[in-house]
Structure 1
Amino acid sequence: MLQGDRLLARLHQLQGLSRSELVRACGYATQSDDGREHLHFTDFYEAVLEAKGVHLPGQGGRWRASRSAQGRHLSFNTHVHFNGNLMVGRAYTEKLQLKPGDQFRIHLHDGEIRLTPLEPADAGGDGATP
């Protein structure tokens, strides 16, 4: 499924096609086990809106319709585990192309937790430069 700038560029190339053809050409079609095609118009339209910078409240954003390697829908929901930890699953880290060892700064603001990737030079811990 195309997303972001790649989706917008492809739509520009495909001007004049029907809506169904656009959905298919941008990768928002699947086939069921019995061979029937399913066009995912809602997921396509949400991806177009997201690519154009329109973020609808209450929506999971551009990855809502994505599937992880295990076939589950990403929901952007989690819970606090018995030990107080929050889990961010592999499907999310793969979507963001994160690798083991990547480091983040944690920001708490207005009841939200935000993670900002650290550059390798920032990841030293004490802020001192070599």
Structure 2
Amino acid sequence: MMKFLNALIDAEGIQLDSSPSLNGHGGRSASYRISVQSNGNLLIGSAYTKQMNLQPGDEFVITLGKKHIRLKQVDTEDESVEATA
């Protein structure tokens, strides 16, 4: 029975071993998809903020389109960082 279950797990591509991710830390990898929470909020996880080198207190201007939300970082310099969700 165990051989059958192991073969089924292998066929489905499921990994049961908890190997560390590429950066040496455990946890989930960024999927680049988020869901609206039950309170109506959108939560952008730390994987994305770390990738963009964002710091606590960084501010954004939110622009709404038909099928997108654009975040434009408010910066003291002329440079700006954009992210589209």
Name the TM-score, length of structure 1 as normaliser: 0.38
Structure 1 residue runs of 4+, over 3 Å off? Answer: 66-71
Query: 1-side partners of 2:75 and 2:59: how far apart?
Result: 8
> Do the aligned partners of 2:29 and 2:47 also contact (CA within 8 Å) in 1?
no
The unaligned stretches of length 5 or more in structure 1 are: 1-32, 34-65, 122-130
Query: Is 1:94 the counterpart of 2:18 in the alignment?
Result: no
Which residue in 1 is equivalent to 2:68?
Answer: 112
Matched with 1:53 is none
Cα distance 1:69–1:88, how it changes in 2: closer, same or farther (>3 A)?
A: farther
**Which structure's residues are more often helix, by fraction?**
1
CA distance in 1, matches of 2:29, 2:61: 27
SS of 1:91 mapped into structure 2: helix
Structure 2 regions of 5+ residues with no counterpart?
A: 1-18, 78-85
CA RMSD of superposed structures (Å):
2.5
Q: How far apart, in 2, do the equivalents of 1:87 and 1:67 lie?
A: 23
- The separation in 2 between residues aligned to 1:115 and 1:68, in whole angstroms, is 30
Aligned length: 57
Give 2:34's aligned residue.
78
Distance in 2 separating the partners of 1:67 and 1:108 = 34
Distance 1:95 1:103, change over 3 A: same
- Given candidates 59, 66, 73, the residue that maps to 1:103 is 59
Question: Share of identical aligned residues, percent?
Answer: 39
Residues 69 and 102 of structure 1: is their aligned pair in 2 closer, same or farther, counting only changes over 3 Å?
Answer: farther
